[in-house]
Amino acid sequence: MPIFEDYAFLPLNIRTLEISVNDIMTDIMGKKVKLNMTATAQVKVGSDEVSLETAAEILLHKTDEEINNIARTTFEGHIRGVFPSMTIEAVDATRDELAHTIQQLVDKDFKNMGLTALSFVIKDIEENKNDSERIQGPVNESTIKLLNEISDRLQKIEARLEKLEKKLG
């Protein structure tokens, strides 16, 4: 019935998403550091009846690019949520576990949209070298004085070590 019914096509193919997230806050020895991460994800509309109905309701009249942006944004949100409690060493050491955790979190949200995350692979994680926020305040006279005192102490320690090395031969 043309007045009451309409039809549209919803692509069910796999979507490969390149995900790039910049300025992710993480914790390194109590200091916040920003990271940049790139990843690849494989996403598609679920095959089961419930997923198809949900996807039809939510995604049917969206373009491919809009659907891809929804998926990318969901990944980015979960990436930003997981990283702050981790050190850079922990992120690098547990890269596969981290990717699996992010994929599981994303899948919970995707289920409500009729989507499914088939895979999520972290390609690269690097420290943001342009991070000007690492300086914890302005450099003033008291900071310079403290740095000079530390430098003097280090020189005295080095002199003592040299004397000890001469005595021990």
Question: Residue 39 has which token pair?
Answer: 């990843």
- Rounded Cα distance between 162 and 158, Å, is 6
- The superfamily CATH assigns to domain 15-134 is Band 7 domain (3.30.479.30)
Domain boundaries, the chain: 15-134, 138-169
Task: Calculate mean pLDDT across residues 155-168.
Answer: 84
pLDDT at position 132 = 45
Q: What is the tens place of the pLDDT at every residue in 112-159? A: 999 999 999 999 888 877 654 444 445 566 667 777 788 788 888 888
pLDDT at position 14 = 94
Three-class HEC string of the chain: CCCCCCCCCCCCCCEEEEEEEEEEEEEECCEEEEEEEEEEEEEEECCCHHHHHHHHHHHCCCCHHHHHHHHHHHHHHHHHHHHHHCCHHHHHHCHHHHHHHHHHHHHHHHHCCCEEEEEEEEEEEEECCCCHHHCCCCCCHHHHHHHHHHHHHHHHHHHHHHHHHHHHC
Task: Calculate mean pLDDT across residues 94-123.
Answer: 92
Q: What is the tens place of the pLDDT at every residue in 5-58? A: 777 788 889 999 999 999 888 765 566 778 889 999 999 999 999 999 999 999
Task: Calculate mean pLDDT across residues 66-81.
Answer: 92
